[in-house]
Structure 1
Amino acid sequence: MTMGISGFEPTFLVGHEAVRENHRPRFTELGGRRLTGFALVRFAEDGEWFADCPVVLDFEGVRVEICHWKFDELSIGWNAIDTTAAITGWEWSEFTPVWSSADERLEPFVGQELREASLLEWRLPGQDLAHGTLAVEFAFAAGRFHVGNGLDENTIEVGDPQTDFVRHRLG
């Protein structure tokens, strides 16, 4: 599942403990760095975000690459995706995927220093379909956003998370 994205070789993990164990040291190193850019895949024809593709965030040269898949799988990569390379292998689709650095939700955070990164785990009393899904949250002086699981695609939400999330600090 590389989606024609150069350097994207996802390793999907399930559960906050597995993600923390594999990625906490890297997230800790991000603290104090400024968000200097980001990249999302959009369709050239209409500008719509293709939320199945990874969200790439650049913190002064350290890139974190977040991608949700299925109902509970999360891949986090580091400095692997080449957002300057064309996305290939989409001959079956009438749409052309391209990297974009335009997003009104993320743009206000560019230039801000990261205060903290956390995993948010969805915990609703009783079992629901989203129970246990994860989001990666980034907190800055002027606010926060998280890249979450939209049940088989990424979501981006700005502001405080819903109260049914449990926060697990990463760094």
Structure 2
Amino acid sequence: MFDFGINGYQPQWHHSLAQVAVTHGTRLAHLAGRTLTHTWLVWDNDADRWFPDGPVLLDFDGEQLEINHQRLDAVSVTWNTINTATPVRWPGTDLNLRWHDGLQAGLHGQRLDTVELLEWTSADLARGTVALTFTLAAQQLTIYNALDENGLSYTPPDPRYRRLRLYTTSSPAHNAVELEDLPLLRDLLDAGADVEDDDGTGWTLLHHALDAEHDGHVQTGKPLHADTTALLLARGADPLRARNGVTALAEAQRCGHWLAAEIMQAWIERHQTA
């Protein structure tokens, strides 16, 4: 594995927003509330400028986040693996590189409010590339794929990005259910999200879907739908799994989500006779 001239560095490559969310979403979300205490870039001493092929390091109160982009589809996220006291020696070159605090002045000492994952949606070469954006107390910082290298931005993200805000109180999959974002939920499940993911109280994705679908119907007056429920059942969610003694099926019947109840009842009957 290419180590970018950094002894001991082993980048972990991901190729979609969903992969990053499933693997690192919870840990990224828990950075919120910490202070950005230090930042590091790889610097080209001879050219006196940032060398964007090397990883970008953000230290939040001792939790060092290491971000790197490569090719048109790869982003690496690692934690606490790089020692900036170690020299950077790019293999096969005579580049004169070092670690340097080169981010925009004033970032240090700011409290982190939120972390979001971004996916570029415009129909161009960058389509599908993943970025991470950090909303600090008085500044925005986005680290994005600048077509086979890292890019930095200090302004709000372009509206053509698909955005997933990360929360400490819910997983990315629960967030997708709440937003009723079926493509995102599909991608997260494809990337390894647990279809029986619960919030620690037994509130599974399926229970959440029933609540979101029924509440949306009641609050907006729009027709009742059960597409999130159907997707979760198709992926193996158990309608007989109980929360506080109440199954998802019983909950749908109780709250009046008759469409989901019909679908789940048919699912149960089919699986009992299979």
TM-score (normalised: structure 2)? 0.58
- For 2:146, the aligned partner's letter is G
SS at match of 2:4: coil
**1:66-105 equivalence runs, <5 A:** 66-88=67-89, 90=91, 92-103=92-103, 105=104
Aligned residue number for residue 117 of structure 1: 115
Q: CA deviation at 1:82?
A: 0.8
Matching residue of 1:165: 161
Number of aligned residues: 166
Measure, in 2, the Cα distance between the counterparts of 1:170 and 1:74: 17
Give the drift of 1:95. Answer: 2.4
Contact 2:113 2:135 in 1 (8 A): yes
Measured in 2, the distance between the counterparts of 1:89 and 1:112 equals 32
Amino acid at match of 1:63: Q
Please say if 1:25 is aligned against 2:26: yes
Equivalent in the alignment of 1:155:
151
Whose relative contact order is higher, 1 or 2, with alpha carbons under 8 Å and at least 6 apart?
A: 1
Equivalent residue for 1:11? 12
Q: How big is the shift at 1:8?
A: 1.3
How big is the shift at 1:89?
A: 5.0
For residues 26-63 of structure 1, what are the alpha-carbon distances to aligned partners after superposition, in whole Å with 9 as ceiling and x for unaligned? 11221100000011001122321110100000001000
Unaligned segments of structure 2, at least 5 residues: 168-274
Query: What residue number does 1:145 align with?
Result: 141
CA distance in 1, matches of 2:61, 2:51: 25
Percent identity of paired positions between Structure 1 and Structure 2: 35
List per-residue Cα deviations over 1:67-88 (Å, max 9, x = no partner): 0011010000000011111123
What is the CA–CA distance in structure 2 between the aligned matches of 1:98 and 1:167, rounded to whole Å? 33
Matches of 2:151 and 2:51, distance apart in 1: 10
Secondary structure at the aligned position of 1:109 is classed as coil
Report the residue type matching 1:111 in the other structure: G
Which piece of structure 1 moves more, 146-155 or 81-90? Answer: 81-90
Which has more strand, going by share of residues? Answer: 1
| Cα distance in 2 for residues equivalent to 1:87 and 1:128 | 33
Which residue of structure 1 lines up, in the alignment, with residue 61 of structure 2?
Answer: 60
Task: Tell me by how many angstroms 1:162 deviates.
Answer: 1.1
Asked if 1:108 corresponds to 2:109, the answer is: no
Structure 1 unaligned runs (5+)?
none
The whole-number CA distance in structure 1 between the counterparts of 2:52 and 2:46 is 16
Distance 2:62 2:32 in 1: 13
Q: State the shift of 1:155 in Å.
A: 0.2
